[in-house]
Amino acid sequence: MFFVDTLEFEGLGNRSHLAGGPGAAVVIDPPRDVDQVIAAAARRGVRIAFVAETHVHNDYVTGGLELARVTGARYLVPAGARVSFARVPVADGDTVPLDEGLALRAIATPGHTPHHTSYVLTDGGRGVAAFTGGSLLIGTVGRPDLVEPRLTEELARAQYASAHRLADELDDEVPVLPTHGFGSFCSSSQAEGDTTTIGQERRTNDALTLDVDTFVARMLDGLDDVPAYYAHMGPANAAGPAPVDLTPPGRADAEEIASRLAAGEWVVDLRSRMAFAGGHVAGSVNFEGDGKLATYLAWLIPWGKPVTLLADTPERIADAQRELARVGIDRPAAAATGDPAGWVRAGERLASFPRARFADLAGVRERGDDVVVLDVRRDSERAGGHIDGSVHIPVHELHGRLGDVPPGTVWVHCAGGMRAAIAASLLDAAGRDVVAVDDGFDAAADAGLPLISG
């Protein structure tokens, strides 16, 4: 008998897996905060005997080294990965016994990185689950452009070959259990669905249905921007991350919040975009705790800049701290909770800005009001259609390009409202008059706004 438990991390679009038998288990690609992995093993009543990395990750800080240290597990890392710590190097075809009748077999699957390795859980010698990391994903594959630009096409072709190897060596009913692909920017394209099998991928995945040249050309043409913080993740993982510290940050009063803003530090308000627009500390920025906090804050903030967190509750601060630690933002400088009126000094007032719908934007344009329409979606999204006359600056570029926004009241939009709220807060902090369009982009056409494709 075997089991496979999946731990989901929606903010980063990743998953980790705990798999094994009655007595022992392996953890594949663990998160930085290993306490929840240990708790999952405890619920199963199993010993973590192995920790396995499919590759040196580019999108988050691994907890593998710490988890192996705490549990005494053997730490399996692909032999081709250049790391600075002791580990058990794993090569293609290596097999390690896991529990009675269960074993873990390594399959070299280069493409996402040159050293990428997938692991197959075998029961009595028969493959029963494939942990494919950033290789074969649900409906797609991991992107090949995160290591070195000169290797991108070579790795794209390797991804194709690796997908075919997995399909050739495994039965149709074997579940495919990737790490990436649930909103992660490590995925070469976004796919729908939560589960898949080798057979399903054989029928639907471009890597297994197209010829290699068509597949490579299509994948390379569809690659999106790489989050800036990715540049720091690989080196941190190769060096061996330090244990995470999730003790609560010190409490900031209104004076400290003001002084940190004056020093050029970032004060991040985790409340909903509706609450933020209605009243916030002038100069603070809004990254919703329920959104893709780690991805977008780590992408936009100058690396190493101190961050102070503001939220309704201590629980929201704790959740954000945990998520940010996964991408190397280890310790908030300070935090404050409760009523936002307590976050400003006596005599000071909270700032605010209006929210609107695309129908409201259509109305002001019909009246002839001279407004700036700022589209903060990614290039690939804008190519599918954009509002005539709009200015385009992707949200991850806006902090460095505030001077490129034309003068006037800025109506900022994205595809659904979350990124527009981030952008509106950045503009508001810079002293601009802003309106946050909190609406789905489909409503732009319904409102009669003229759209242009391409």
The residues with which 74 forms a beta bridge, in sequence order, are: 50
DSSP state at residue 82 = -
- 26 three-class SS: strand
Residue 181 belongs to what H/E stretch? none
Q: State the pLDDT at residue 178.
A: 97
Length of the chain as a residue count: 454
Sheet holding 126-133, edge to edge: 95-99, 102-108, 117-123, 126-133, 176-178
CB 39 within 8 A of CB 27: no
Return the residue matching tokens 């940010």: 324
Q: State the pLDDT at residue 188.
A: 77
Nearest to 163, CA basis, from 150, 178, 153, 148: 178
Give 194's contacts (C-beta < 8 A, 6+ positions apart).
Answer: 138, 182
What is the chain's pLDDT, residue by residue, as a tens digit (454 residues)?
899 999 999 888 899 999 999 999 999 999 999 999 999 999 999 999 999 999 999 999 999 999 999 999 999 999 999 999 999 999 999 999 999 999 999 999 999 999 999 999 999 999 999 999 999 999 999 999 999 999 999 999 999 999 999 999 999 999 999 999 888 888 877 766 789 999 999 999 999 999 999 999 999 998 989 999 999 999 999 999 999 999 999 999 999 999 999 999 999 999 999 999 999 999 999 999 987 899 999 999 999 999 999 999 999 999 999 999 999 999 999 999 999 999 999 999 999 999 999 999 999 999 988 899 999 999 999 999 999 999 999 999 999 999 999 999 999 999 999 999 999 999 999 999 999 999 999 999 999 999 998 7
Both tokens of residue 344?
A: 């400003």
d(CA 409, CA 338): 31
Angle at 398 between CA 393 and CA 402, to 5 degrees: 105
Residue 4 belongs to what H/E stretch? strand 3-9
Residue 169 belongs to what H/E stretch? helix 152-169
Write out 295-358 in H/E/C secondary structure: HHHHHHCCCCCCEEEEECCHHHHHHHHHHHHCCCCCCCCEEEECCHHHHCCCCCCCECCCEECH
Return the residue matching tokens 């050739």: 168
DSSP state at residue 92 = T
Return the residue matching tokens 């590759």: 55
- The amino acid at residue 355 is R
